[in-house]
A and B are shown apart, each in its own frame.
Chain A
Amino acid sequence: MTRTLVIVGYGMVGHRLAQAMRDRDVHGAWRITVLAEETRPAYDRVALSSYVHTWDAGDLTLPAVVGVDLRLGEAALEIDRVKREIITSKGERVTYDALVLATGSAPFVPPVPGRELPGCFVYRTIDDLDAIREAVEAAGRTGRRAGMVLGGGLLGLEAANALRGMGLSPHVVELAPRLMPIQVDDGGAGLLRDLVQKLDLTVHTGTSAQVIERDGQRMVVKLTSGVELDVDVVVFSAGIRPRDDLARAMGLTVGQCGGVVVDEGCRTGDANVYAIGECACVAGMVYGLVAPGYAMAEVVADRLLGGTATFPGADTSTKLKLLGVDVASFGDAHATTEGALEVVFNDAVAGTYAKVVVSDDAKTLLGGILVGDASAYTMLRPLVGRAISGDPAALVAPAGTDVALGSLPDDAQVCSCNAVTKAVIKGAIAEGCADVPGLKSCTKAGTTCGSCVPMLKQLLTEAGVAQSKALCEHFDYSRAELFEIVAGSGVSTFSELITKHGRGFGCDICKPAVASILASLGTGHVLDGEQASLQDTNDHFLANLQRNGTYSVVPRIPGGEITPDKLMVIAEVARDYGLYTKITGGQRIDLFGATVDQLPHIWRRLVDAGMESGHAYGKALRTVKSCVGTTWCRYGVQDSVALAIQLELRYRGLRSPHKLKSAVSGCARECAEARGKDFGVIATEHGWNLYVGGNGGFRPRHADLLVSDVDTDTLIRLVDRFLMFYVRTADRLQRTSAWIEAMDGGLDHLRAVIVDDSLGICADLESAMHQHVGAYADEWRGVLEDPEKLARFTSFVNAPGTPDPTISFREERGQRVPVQLGIPEVVSP
């Protein structure tokens, strides 16, 4: 008989339970009802702060669970344990066979007078952030707007950084004498404070808010230290309290500091009621992290299906997600274990602080704290509670951070977010997972916070499957390395390159790759001399090869803007040569069905009419799509057409590892679909938001926000750097999205390099782009003006002008389409 499971609360943990039940309950033993107080489906609360980059809740939404009766905006109000019945906020009655409380927690707001004033907020839900944003916008634009965050813990710093992202000057007020008092010690906190202040956050420690008062449109916060802050918004982030009120009303036991008391199977005193996530108290502990909550959800799913799983306890390691500030804390960070020893490395010059805590015999790692550089975190955290060989100092000494993964036992967790052990990853590698994306999809490791991705790579290397970076059998180098070799050595031909740095004659992989590198470095026309022999057929004939051996012709239409006169020329050419005509998704007109010998004639007419190559054939910039923007659209806030044209003309002809597409939208309505592009721009009232790493195609992906509200000059400078960095360092045929994903540190690293110039290469990237822009010349014009190049556009070397007898067409919907001829006989020699 089917039983009914009711889950109260649809946060991250409630969602995980629903998912786990639907995955595992293959016989359909349970019907599932979810009561969710929030009006939107479950979302990634851990990533809540990233909402301020896009204000797109869709980005955070967790995958929908099918086959669940999900009641959004309907909270559980009362529960009758005897009748096993719940009364909801909509007045409905829902009965259950099993009930799981997953109500999470509520932010704690200390009783400061004035805390009820408009302009005071908590930081927990998407709605909270929307409300903060509204208040920030209402605060007007005169003078510098400011905000105060009460609480200098992990969430407080995250909230302050988010306020900064909304254009406020944030003050962080912390009662304890240091920031992140739970995770970090005094030594680490001193450095953390410096780093945080570099992000323009003002820090006040050892003090608290005494009173908040209205002051015209703003507020004044009086601190116990005597300081007064003028602010527009106040955000409370002073800790959380489990939401256990329903459980209390049901007569269930709650813990000393709150939280529904459950046993190791996550069951309350009532055999039909469970509690999981932040509202549960297991073995006296309430966990404020998502990983333990996920583990509890898995335990309950197992129990409901007849299993006997128990909650194993969880570690409370944390890594701060703030951009540019690395902080990690794990295990017994404060050395509270009897006899524990601390080894500290404090490098004031480099701005790093590292501490490990070991047992009294210095043989077991107990915990640690890293500030400034937390790269050792992924290696050290799984070692907690395990024997270490050798000197513990080696674990944190600057050169000692690469503890051999081999020494890690198989049952150690590599990915703590998803509880994936080293053994599971090794198993997946043995079964054929050969790269990080593969491991991510078959083990889930690395899919949540991403901090274990470097370890995944290392495990692949140790298993001997790390893919060779060699471009092909002719070169042992990756594309990026070849780029550096060509750029640095002045080698300007393929034959010189392969003689000096490769072997054999080359192939269809290395030749076009080198051709693209040479073109990016501005070595003349793509069909000049030896370069002509390197090009793939598309580049060789400056047109796109289609299925019957004919080509398509695509003139550039920058930004999609075109005059009626040019439209007429295109129409006449199409009619005269019988070309199939189609408007593409990239705002171009494609003309299909031209034979090799027709191409120069067609282009002669297009070039004479003022048109130029659209590079639709190349791994190059294809289109910059635009909406209509301020000129015509009643919603537009910037001139998206002008910018799209400017960008397209600037980057036309740029050869790159893969084709590049872009778009500019005139407002957040996003009619140009800019976020589906390699780089996309969306107008704001203050300037432009730049997104990078999106794509359509086989695995569509939305681009991520790189910077917001920049002016046009800054935008162009950043795009210059972005494109050049990509051209130089990406692998062959690697799209921008995969390129960013494959970077250590991902988008944050990219931002550090091209926005903050962390590698000091930006001037170089910009000047390379200037060179490209200055040297641009239309490729088709170059062919038409050069009789030697023109001569290659013949169907038959001995019978120029004779049409290819295998090409024929039929008519469909009033246009010509290709007919595929039967396969000619294959004669074996």
Chain B
Amino acid sequence: MSVQFPLTNLLPNRGVAALLPGDVQVAVFRTSDDRVYALSNIDPFSRAAVMSRGIVGDRDGVPVAVSPMHKNAFDLRTGVCVDDPEVSLAVFPVRVDAGMVMVGAP
């Protein structure tokens, strides 16, 4: 596990950005049913590091994060873009242990 931070820093239905060694940026999200997911923070459409600032919700029951840039939605479980399955975000391993969120390299 490369990075850890307190779960209290992560509001339900919101994301935060974390920096992994080698300047790798991860967006970590927490859903309302208290699951935690981690995807690449870089929106492949705009190339800006903004995924963590997107809205968390669901599309047809699929948990998603929506890029704030051009509103593309990504499946939180697989990183696949819901509107364009050709494009996807890298998924990072993540778990919560004793109130700490731990994110690792894929």
Interface set of A (CB-CB < 8 Å, partner B): 473-474, 495, 504-508, 510-512, 530, 532-534, 536-538, 540-541, 545, 547-549, 791, 794-799, 802, 804-807, 820-824, 826-829
Contact = CB atoms under 8 A, between A and B. Distances in A.
A508 B54 contact: yes
Interface string B5-22: 100011111101111000
Given A495-B32, A806-B25, A826-B87, A537 B12 contact: no
B60 to A, nearest CB: 7
Contacts of B13: 505-506, 530, 533-534
B10 A797 contact: yes
A822 to B, nearest CB: 8
Contacts of A533: 11-14, 55-56
B19 A798 contact: yes
Given A796-B17, A829-B79, A508 B50 contact: no
Interface of B: 3-5, 9-14, 16-19, 23, 25, 28, 31-32, 40, 42, 44, 46-50, 53-61, 63-64, 66, 68-69, 71, 73, 78-79, 87-91, 106
B57 A507 contact: yes
Nearest to B55: A508
Contacts of A805: 19, 23, 25
Contacts of A534: 13, 55
Contacts of B11: 532-533
B57 A511 contact: yes
A828 B88 contact: yes
A826 B90 CA distance: 6
Instruction: Please indicate which of the listed interface residues B14, B31, B47, B55 has the most CB atoms of chain A within 10 Å of its own CB.
Output: B55
Contacts, number: 128
A797 B9 CA distance: 7
Given A507-B73, A530-B12, A533-B12, 11 more contacts: A506-B57, A507-B58, A537-B68, A797-B16, A804-B17, A805-B19, A806-B25, A826-B88, A827-B106, A829-B88, A829-B91
B58 A820 contact: no
Contacts of B106: 827, 829
B53 A537 contact: yes
Contacts of B28: 797
Contacts of A828: 79, 88
A548 B49 CA distance: 8
A504 B46 CA distance: 28
Contacts of A797: 5, 9-10, 16-18, 28
Contact of B32 (A505, A507, A822, A827): A505
Contact of A547 (B10, B31, B46, B89): B46
20 contacts: A504-B58, A505-B57, A506-B57, A507-B73, A537-B68, A540-B53, A794-B16, A795-B19, A796-B18, A797-B17, A798-B3, A799-B18, A799-B19, A804-B17, A805-B25, A806-B48, A821-B47, A823-B47, A824-B42, A826-B89
A824 B42 CA distance: 8
B60 A827 contact: no
A796 B15 CA distance: 11
A508 B73 contact: yes
B43 to A, nearest CB: 9
Contacts of A474: 57-58
A820 B66 contact: no
B69 A545 contact: yes
Given A508-B73, A533-B12, A545 B57 contact: no
B51 to A, nearest CB: 10
A38 B36 CA distance: 74
Nearest to A805: B23
Nearest to B11: A533
Nearest to A541: B53
A507 B42 contact: no
A807 B23 CA distance: 12
Contact of A806 (B42, B87, B91): B42
A182 B49 CA distance: 72
B87 to A, nearest CB: 7
Contacts of A799: 18-19
Nearest to A596: B53
Contact of A511 (B44, B55, B73, B88): B55
Instruction: Please indicate which of the listed interface residues A534, A538, A807, A828 has the most CB atoms of chain B within 10 Å of its own CB.
Output: A828
A402 B18 CA distance: 61
B57 A537 contact: no
- Per CB-CB distance, the 8 closest pairs between chain A and chain B, nearest first, are A537-B68, A549-B48, A533-B13, A507-B57, A827-B90, A508-B66, A797-B16, A796-B19
Contacts of A473: 59-60
Contacts of A505: 13, 31-32, 56-58, 63
Nearest to B103: A798
B46 A536 contact: no
Contacts of A807: 49
A511 B71 CA distance: 13
B16 to A, nearest CB: 4
A536 B17 contact: no
B11 to A, nearest CB: 6
B64 to A, nearest CB: 7
B99 to A, nearest CB: 14
A507 B12 contact: no
Nearest to A795: B17
A506 B90 CA distance: 24
A510 B55 CA distance: 11
Contacts of B46: 547
Given A505-B31, A506-B57, A823-B44, A798 B68 contact: no
Contact of B68 (A510, A536, A791): A536
B50 A549 contact: yes
Nearest to B48: A549
Contacts of B88: 826, 828-829
Contact of B55 (A536, A545, A794, A823): A536
A285 B44 CA distance: 69
A547 B14 CA distance: 21
A545 B50 contact: yes
B5 A798 contact: yes
Nearest to A829: B91
Instruction: Please indicate which of the listed interface residues A798, A799, A829 has the most CB atoms of chain B within 10 Å of its own CB.
Output: A798
A530 B88 CA distance: 29
Contacts of B42: 806, 824
